[in-house]
Structure 1
Amino acid sequence: MQEYQLALKDKRIAWGMAIAIEPLIGKYSGDSIRPGENAALDWNLPAGVYRAKEVVMELDKLLEAMLVQLGEPVNGDPAVLLDSLQANLAISGQHASLPLGPLALKDKAGAELTSQAVRIGEQLVIWAREINAEKRALTTYGAETLGALEFRSHCYGHPLIPEATRLVWGPLGGPRIMQLYNEYLHQFVLLRDALLPFANWEEVPFEIKEHTEFKGLRFLEPAREIFLTQLLGKKLTHKAIVQYAQSVVNSGLTKTGYGFQYRLGTVLPAGLGESAGTAARYLLKWHPVQTVQTEETRDLAAISFDYEYDDYYAAPRNEAGKGTTVNEDTLPVSREHYDGPSIARLLPNADSDRTTLRFSLEMEGREFTVDLGQLFRGHRFLYRPHGNDNAGDALTKRTSISSHRAIDILSHAGLVTNPDEIHFIPTNGNELVQWALLGKLYPENVVLLDKGDKEELEAAYVSGKGFGTQFLVL
């Protein structure tokens, strides 16, 4: 096995050992179409490792069975049924199963998940149309077998577009068709919602264990209900997103941190490997890597990653010091050309009851590390130089602006703060150093700059809380 490496433009983040997932995908314990009751055939997802597209392939068998049972002239023309699926997976309209559009969520977590719902829903429908056009199930099973598929679908509340209602309940349809279609829609809704936490949702492998009492993805319904209640109630936290993600991938974990390792890889906040200024703050990302290897086995143990400081407010703090006083007219401060580190490493630290990860990089011959959890926490609390609604009331005084070397900030123990004034930290655009600083600075009034020109600086001065000490990172 090779070390796993994540690219960040011209920089790298390396850790653990890369794992091969492809050989595990699509290896199922049985067939999704199997004997049911009263000589009918039933459908369920067999145990195995899936990604989103593999689930869509299995769900297409339900749609093809409906088309066969509807008969001519519908057979071969699934447009109406797929259009109704599209309406269900939309985030607005009277048929939307998750009406995030009308809520217009403004909180960062809600906004990110709303965008996710749109992206995932649209792609699932594209796949559903493409896969159905291939008629794989009809070729594999034949019309007689698909015609015998029948079961009870325990779910209500997925409204159909009028054309689908007329088709399903018309002379060619009836309760049997409705049961199949209801399950088809519900499984797609469950799939879309299960993938909401993951920025790279198409790649995420998850294990399905076949349940006699649950059909397909229905085992996720309890966790989904809790998650959506928090999302729609605008009380969604990062911890709640991680907790839901752990249920989706069947990690077996009950403890929740900021990320986790499970049998099929590692899940961390999506910002890792992205530019801090534009990266998602609440979404997660799956990585094909074994981050922590236990001594007893080479298998991937399920491990929750803990913050070094559970409560950052109570974490030890050290003052950055005065730095070098500069005139705001001379900003941004330019230093001698120095590219800084080109690689950072994640170092696990596991003891008897908790596991933490350190973000480590080397500068000027010295190694500096920050807690990875605090790094992500700092990113979630980060401000950007876009001003704020209370800019006219901002109390930040620009009587003194100090410049600090990044290496001096990273040299301190604990979290770094200062009692007042504005503190400028140039990084020469090195994004690894910027991320490290987010894990070192007390996450209260930190503003990340893009260019540091006069216009951006003016916006930065009134960003954040508008008072107290302020750190500007460029």
Structure 2
Amino acid sequence: MSSYRLDVGEQGIVWGTRLEAATGQNAGPGGETVKPSADNGLWEWDIPNGVYTAREIVKALSVLLEAIAVQLGESANREALLANIENTLAIAGRETALPLAALELSDYGRLELSEQAGRIGETLSQWARAFDGEARGLRELGDEVLGRLVFRSRCDNHLWTHEVTDMLTGPAGGPSVMQLFNEYLHEIVLLRDALLPFENWQEVPLALTARPSRGLRYTEQAHTAFLSQLLARPLDHKSLVRYAASLLAPELAAVGYGFQYRYGTILPASLGTELAEAPRYLLRWYPVRTIASGEGDAIAFAYEYPDYYQATRSKLGVGSEESGGGAAELGGIAEASLQANLISDDQAVITFQLPAATDIYNVDLGQIFRGHRFHYRAGSADKKPISPSPTHEEPVIAHHAAGPILSLSGLVTDDAGTHEIATGGNELVTRALLGKLYPENVILLERGDAEELEAAKNAGKRFGAKFLLHPGQDQARRSSSAEASAGKLSI
């Protein structure tokens, strides 16, 4: 089996063993979605054991809407039911199950999840509408079975629109259709919320095997705990990873910055996205077995420094007075690799390895993700400086090459001053530096031009050492060339 390669722009990260698609291998949504119940002549609904994508779960849920339509007969208003689903999955409005739009969000984590909830909700609603139009359940099961689909679904406090309330409680309605619709709403809300951590949520393989309750209800306890935190206070990364594991690897007790489960690896999404656009908190599913352990073993990825405040620190040292020094030193590196080492039965540490001409630089992958979450941007208004008043003194900037910094032990910091580190426009080098520098006052520059450098004076914290990760002369030259070409085209 081949190694997995993750391409990010023109560069790549290689590790582990590539996995083939897991979905579709087991019993999928179909006739087994409903089974005879213990009650005489009645049927029950559940999602059969198998490995699913989110779309396939919505397909399995469509049977419930079809059963409601059959049992209501001419009183059924499918458009009203679908509109209620859309309202429930929205993040604002009377029927919303997740009122994130009502909160004044300023932290990166909840802002990302709020946007994610909106995107997922809209797509799930579209799928619900599409599957309802296929009438697949009616063709495969018939109206006799759908008319006797009856089971207990406790109230989960999902609000109905006035039109749906009149329909389900009216002369043609009753407890059967009320509970069918309640189960549909609850299952699709659990699905939407369980997918919130994952940037590529449509691809994540969801293994539904032996469960103590119907559908996705096995996630309810973790769901309640996570939403309580999400709605009450800024999000921390550890809680998001714990919530993701409750869906994919509920047996995993250890918590880190990511984990491996039977059907792939979960790591922060920033690993596979160029840094200028990378989310800070969202996770991503990668089709790779990072550690060649037992086939079904779940393993958490631990930080080398669980508490980075206690990590060994090295001083940066004296830099040069000239900018761009060493910008091309590591700029030609096109590939990095990840090396995983088990530290217990269910925990591993992953090292980001950057091969240079004369050395291999090793940086803890978890610390890279920490550095990315905590970094600042020049001119960014969403991270307010702590100092009550600006400084008017022109800072003296010391310039450094990346290689010597990556060779130091522990995390790298300094007592004071502004330090510019040339990356040569290489994102692999930039990632390594984000994991090597003490994550307190690091500013990531996108262009490195005079305007951005001026804005960087007021970025970050106004005390202690400040570190500017500069794309270097190569990147600046590419930007200048692009601007010149654009100018010629516009003439």
TM-score with structure 1 setting the length: 0.94
**Which of 343, 355, 360 is equivalent to 2:335?**
343
What is the count of residue pairs matched by the alignment? 464
| Structure 1 residues 174 and 224: CA distance shift in structure 2, 3 A | same
Partners of 2:23 and 2:52 within 8 A in 1: no
Partners of 1:317 and 1:414 within 8 A in 2: yes
Q: Show the counterpart of 1:178.
A: 178
2:15 partner amino acid:
W
Q: Show the counterpart of 1:32.
A: 33
Distance in 2 between the 1:168 and 1:195 partners? Answer: 29
Task: Check if 1:469 corresponds to 2:475.
Answer: no
Partners of 1:46 and 1:210 within 8 A in 2: no
**Which of 419, 422, 429 is equivalent to 1:426?**
422
Partners of 2:314 and 2:413 within 8 A in 1: yes
CA deviation after TM superposition for structure 1 residue 302, in Å: 1.0
Secondary structure in 2 matching 1:341: coil
2:95 partner amino acid:
H
CA deviation after TM superposition for structure 1 residue 71, in Å: 1.0
Structure 2, unaligned runs of 5 or more: 471-491
Partners of 2:43 and 2:150 within 8 A in 1: yes
Matches within 5 A, 1:207-218: 207-211=207-211, 213-218=212-217
Matches within 5 A, 1:4-83: 4-22=4-22, 24-28=24-28, 31-36=32-37, 37-72=39-74, 74=76, 78-83=78-83
Matches within 5 A, 1:149-188: 149-188=149-188
Task: Single out whichever of 347-356 and 150-159 deviates more from structure 2.
Answer: 347-356
CA deviation after TM superposition for structure 1 residue 407, in Å: 1.0
CA deviation after TM superposition for structure 1 residue 23, in Å: 5.4
2:271 partner amino acid:
L
1:373 partner amino acid:
G
Q: Show the counterpart of 1:130.
A: 130
Deviations 1:41-76 (A, max 9, x none): 0001122111111110110000011111111263xx
Distance in 1 between the 2:104 and 2:40 partners? Answer: 48
CA deviation after TM superposition for structure 1 residue 26, in Å: 4.9
Q: Show the counterpart of 1:358.
A: 351
Task: Check if 1:227 corresponds to 2:226.
Answer: yes
Distance in 2 between the 1:387 and 1:44 partners? Answer: 48
**Which of 343, 356, 375 is equivalent to 1:382?**
375
CA deviation after TM superposition for structure 1 residue 175, in Å: 1.9
Distance in 2 between the 1:336 and 1:222 partners? Answer: 52
Matches within 5 A, 1:42-441: 42-72=44-74, 74=76, 78-211=78-211, 213-294=212-293, 297=294, 299-326=295-322, 335=327, 339-352=331-344, 354-388=347-381, 389-390=384-385, 393-395=389-391, 398-441=394-437
Distance in 2 between the 1:403 and 1:232 partners? Answer: 43
| Structure 1 residues 27 and 134: CA distance shift in structure 2, 3 A | same
1:269 partner amino acid:
P
| Structure 1 residues 62 and 442: CA distance shift in structure 2, 3 A | same
RMSD (CA atoms): 1.9
1:414 partner amino acid:
G
Secondary structure in 1 matching 2:376: coil
1:320 partner amino acid:
L
| Structure 1 residues 51 and 348: CA distance shift in structure 2, 3 A | same
CA deviation after TM superposition for structure 1 residue 333, in Å: 6.4
| Structure 1 residues 233 and 336: CA distance shift in structure 2, 3 A | closer
Distance in 1 between the 2:222 and 2:395 partners? Answer: 52
Secondary structure in 2 matching 1:473: strand
CA deviation after TM superposition for structure 1 residue 143, in Å: 1.1
2:315 partner amino acid:
E
Deviations 1:181-232 (A, max 9, x none): 1111111111111111111111111211343x52111111001111111111
Distance in 1 between the 2:349 and 2:355 partners? Answer: 20
Deviations 1:66-119 (A, max 9, x none): 111111263xx6211000000001111111011010013211111111111101
| Structure 1 residues 464 and 429: CA distance shift in structure 2, 3 A | same
Secondary structure in 1 matching 2:336: strand
Distance in 2 between the 1:157 and 1:165 partners? Answer: 13
CA deviation after TM superposition for structure 1 residue 365, in Å: 3.1
Distance in 1 between the 2:337 and 2:350 partners? Answer: 10
Partners of 2:75 and 2:172 within 8 A in 1: no
Distance in 1 between the 2:149 and 2:416 partners? Answer: 71
| Structure 1 residues 154 and 178: CA distance shift in structure 2, 3 A | same
Partners of 1:396 and 1:466 within 8 A in 2: no
CA deviation after TM superposition for structure 1 residue 277, in Å: 2.9
| Structure 1 residues 292 and 416: CA distance shift in structure 2, 3 A | same
CA deviation after TM superposition for structure 1 residue 362, in Å: 1.1
CA deviation after TM superposition for structure 1 residue 428, in Å: 1.9
Partners of 1:17 and 1:290 within 8 A in 2: yes
Partners of 1:396 and 1:462 within 8 A in 2: no
Partners of 2:330 and 2:402 within 8 A in 1: no
Secondary structure in 2 matching 1:145: helix
Task: Check if 1:449 corresponds to 2:436.
Answer: no
CA deviation after TM superposition for structure 1 residue 300, in Å: 4.3
Deviations 1:406-438 (A, max 9, x none): 111111111111111111112121111111110
Structure 1, unaligned runs of 5 or more: none
Partners of 2:326 and 2:400 within 8 A in 1: no
Deviations 1:114-158 (A, max 9, x none): 111101100000111111111111111111111110111112311
CA deviation after TM superposition for structure 1 residue 355, in Å: 1.2
TM-score with structure 2 setting the length: 0.90
Runs of 4+ in structure 1 over 3 Å off = 22-26, 331-339, 351-354, 387-392, 394-399
Distance in 2 between the 1:23 and 1:94 partners? Answer: 36
1:401 partner amino acid:
I
Partners of 1:358 and 1:372 within 8 A in 2: yes
